[in-house]
Chains A and B, each alone.
Chain A
Amino acid sequence: MKIKSPPNLRYPVTVTELLRQRDDPVERSEGLFKYYYEVKVNEVDRHEQSKEVIRRIPERFNSPFDGTVSEWFIKSGTVIERPGVDIVEIEEPCTHEIQFGGLCANCGKDMTVQDYLTDQRNSERAPINMTHNNVALLVSEREAGRADEEARTRLLSAKKLSLIVDLDQTVIHTTCERTVADWQADENNPNHEAVKDVRSFQLADDAHSNIASNWYYVKKRPGLDEFLERMSQLYEMHVYTMATRAYAEAVAKIIDPTGKYFGDRILSRDENYTDKLKSLQRLFPTNTDMVVIIDDRADVWHYSANLVRVPVFNFFPGAGDINASFLPKQQELITTKAKVKHIDEAVTSAESKVVGEAVEISPTEVEKEPTESANGGLTELEQQIISMGSQNDPEKLEEQVKEQEELIIAQQTERPLLQQQLQLDKEDEEAEQKEEQESSQESENGESQPTPHPKHRHSILHDDDRGLEVVERNLRAVHDAFYDEYRSKKRALAGGRVAELKGSPKKRINNVIPDVKILMPRMKEEVLAGTILVFSGIIPLGIDVLTSDLALWAMSFGAEVVTEVTRYTTHVIANPDRKTTKVRKAARYPNIKIVNVDWMLQCCTRWERVDEEPYLIEMDSDDRGASPADDLDDSDIGVVPDEVIGQPTTRVSIDMTADQWENIDAELEEFMNETDDTDAESDAESLASDASTPSNGTPKKKRKRLNPENPDESGTDDSDASVSSTSRLQKRRKRTMGRVSSLTNMVVAEKSSGLPSPETTGPEEETMEEGGEDVVKPLGVDIDLDDGDYDDGLEAEMLAQFEAAASDDEDGDGNGE
């Protein structure tokens, strides 16, 4: 190890003599070299005259550790001016690269001792923990790199990748409710079939806590055994869970009884240092190129590029994740009422589970049963506790443990499952004549043919989750992509003689190995590439839309998320029950598809652009029919200030939070106002339009549906807008562009929001090309009529805009005719 000049010397110092020569052994605290430094001192001579003199003070520099001197960087006479100068290289007999419990694993010395010679503590040499089941064993960076290297060669030769598997709600679902055991015993129970294979266990360490002999009931995700078997051919699997060690091991014994899939590679909360996050570096400290993660939550992984997000497995409704009280609270969505048209019961999904249930490939309505029993209240408490502080203080931990206990006790005593089943039974009786069908497509697309169903009792549990099939397909794709690229790169390398001569063999092999962190985002970004999404009524107020869970998820799939509806928007992800301003605005553009959140979730779990058709939200004809003219104008001219040229129009940078707040406020305000007058208005409107021009709404809607698959090209087949009008509009826009002035900054008094529209910025030149064909689309007939006015100039434009904005309703009517 190289010794540098320490900070605690009196610089400058001058070396006078080297006490050890090269290859001499030196022991700790033995002298290495002699030096002197000079200080000014006040001396009083015998005449009591005080005088300042410079004194040389000789000193000896001692070796901070044992070893052999291998190289000197100084010689006698050298002046060392400052700390941090290389002095000597000493080769140590042991570099303490592996340490166990503060001891060096190779020489057995205590690494924590500290004395006057210590400048760097030995324990700092090995800061990395990379073992699954032990916190006492630490290794140095070099050793960790070696281990990674070794693992990599092993995996490459076996044609495998590493796969980190989360337990709760990803591959299993656990509840503590005894009802499950009762149902298991009762063959006549409608749920018997589903819970037949539920496994249970008790944990020994629960005896210490207040939960008396608690039973855990574990349901394996359907198809798990086959999934693990097949994945073990492609991946070396690790378990990484936020549950306790004992729980993790008990579950591992259930899903992997022989230990052939996971072996000892189980990491639990006990070894994870923090209970907030999961870290890839904890297991793969130096190289994460070959690691894939499957987890139902992305936030705990900091939206890692290695993550394959899995639809939540929620088998026991309302049970949630019993180990989630240790995790940060999941971002909630606005509680939505799922619109199941043919079924009379209004179905409310409980708290944040909306995401989860929606993601499931075949969510059944019953799973969306209200679970406002014990669980809802508890999670609120949970949230409070978590928001109390982010420090890892023991008090909080204790509270979290208590919280978990409470949750478990609530599940034991209140038995939400049983309650729900009872309620369901009751409902069944009530609605006996009504045929209810629980096929999976039904809830998926909301339209199904009710068929007679002989079953008299419905079960609360459904054993029809297909999440693992999707995950398997994705994992296979990643594996194939990885090894395809590896092979082709290797072949290219073998061909190039020049490349072979360049660099060390190790470096070469590094270049050959593809990186999952690059590979996977590339695959994912293709999915929603080119789409511009707006969320409406999905993300609750107070959460920054652009950093919300859903938005980040969509963005990882290549979508662009913006806060305002513009012409360029391709999809509006909306809440089917709430017609927000954005939805209304979007409805005026026939090219914008208004879909529910399931569409996005489907795309993001299946890694493919799903057909929007089944997810479209029905729009009233008057909403659809209204002209987009006014909005078009303000996004065209009014909103674009000339000084900020150089950014794409639609991109809203994250620091625009003030504007977003304004928008959110405006939306809220709008929503509040809406209930009184606008509703009545729109009712009247719809009546009028229905009566007078019944054909008006339908063709437009149809048009929208014609091409749900390729929204990018949607402009091309728009037969309504004539070619001439496009070119005229383009001309007009170009002209407007040409005379950019401060006038273009004008704020349009938009009736709908009551606030100035946000200043989306950007160059028109850039967007012109791509936007050119899109422009065709939103053009209503009335614009064609108005075109003449526009030609007159800017004043006319402004006038028209004010008119358009002021007489929204009239416009709509005029549009109809």
Chain B
Amino acid sequence: MFFLKELEKTIQLHPSYFGPLIRKHIHRELLLKEEGSSTGSYTIVTILDTFDISDGIVVPGSGAAEYTVHYKAIVWKPYKNEVVDGVVTSVVRTGFFVDVGSLKAFVSSSMIPSSITFDPNATPQHWTDNGDQTIEKGTNVRIKIKGLRHEVDQMFAICTMKEDYLGPLTA
């Protein structure tokens, strides 16, 4: 699910950037460091333009200045039972792996409808129902999150495809 969240970030700036364009530098630094990063429970999708930079404080001993930036960002936090779209990254005998943004998901064979079976002899290996549904590396799939776990900077999910309207996306 997507949220609008207020966040805070401390940015250190090298003295060589001190000058009339200092706000621009801070902005760039913020976008570079934060956008797309994952904290383990949510991913920062995009940073909104309005942000608030505190006064800079020179760090004793280094000459760099420290700014505290308050900003708003759209973040994505996956929830159990959320339906998500992702891209298949790898297909194995026991299931297939899906990347949903920063979330690494796995759909195991027990979570795949029984009509879709694994074909190890095909190149590349894929799951198929021998009809129009084929799941191989690069396929877009719609899946539902069954379990989630957060680690320091990454998230893992177990997903299912065994419900209505889930499966490979044609388009």
Contacts and interface: CB of A to CB of B under 8 A. Distances in A.
Contacts of A136: 104, 106, 156
A88 interface: no
A147 B118 CA distance: 13
A413 interface: no
B24 interface: no
Contact of B106 (A101, A158, A260): A101
Contacts of A151: 120
Given A101-B104, A102-B149, A110-B149, A264 B156 contact: no
Interface in A93-121: 98, 100-110, 112
B147 A107 contact: yes
A263 interface: yes
A28 interface: no
B132 to A, nearest CB: 23
B123 A260 contact: yes
B147 A139 contact: no
Given A108-B158, A133-B90, A101 B149 contact: yes
B37 interface: no
A344 interface: no
Given A98-B94, A137-B106, A150-B93, A263 B124 contact: yes
B137 interface: yes
Contacts of B161: none
A263 B123 contact: yes
Contacts of B156: 100-103, 136
A176 to B, nearest CB: 29
Q: Which of A105, A106, A107, A151 has the most chain B CB within a 10 Å cutoff?
A: A105
Interface string A259-280: 1100110000000000000000
B123 A103 contact: no
Interface residues of A, number: 30
Interface string A123-163: 00000000101101101000100010011001000100000
A726 to B, nearest CB: 65
B124 A108 contact: no
A105 B123 contact: no
A258 interface: yes
Given A98-B108, A110-B147, A264-B125, A103 B90 contact: no
B90 A134 contact: yes
B73 to A, nearest CB: 24
B111 A105 contact: yes
B90 A264 contact: yes
Interface string B145-161: 01111010010111000
B50 interface: no
B122 to A, nearest CB: 9
Interface in B73-101: 80, 90-95, 97
B115 interface: no
Contacts of B111: 105-106
B110 interface: yes
A610 to B, nearest CB: 40
B170 interface: no
A773 B142 CA distance: 80
B121 interface: yes
Contacts of A100: 106, 108, 156, 158
A106 B108 contact: yes
A376 B76 CA distance: 52
Given A143-B94, A264-B124, 18 more contacts: A100-B108, A100-B156, A101-B106, A101-B151, A101-B156, A103-B158, A105-B110, A105-B111, A107-B146, A112-B149, A131-B90, A131-B92, A134-B97, A137-B106, A147-B94, A151-B120, A154-B121, A258-B123
Interface of A: 98, 100-110, 112, 131, 133-134, 136-137, 139, 143, 147, 150-151, 154, 158, 258-260, 263-264
Nearest 8 A/B pairs, CB to CB: A108-B147, A101-B156, A108-B146, A105-B108, A100-B106, A108-B158, A103-B147, A106-B110
Interface of B: 80, 90-95, 97, 104, 106, 108, 110-111, 120-121, 123-125, 137, 146-149, 151, 154, 156-158
16 contacts: A98-B94, A100-B106, A100-B108, A101-B156, A102-B151, A103-B106, A103-B148, A103-B157, A103-B158, A105-B110, A147-B93, A154-B120, A158-B121, A258-B123, A259-B123, A263-B125
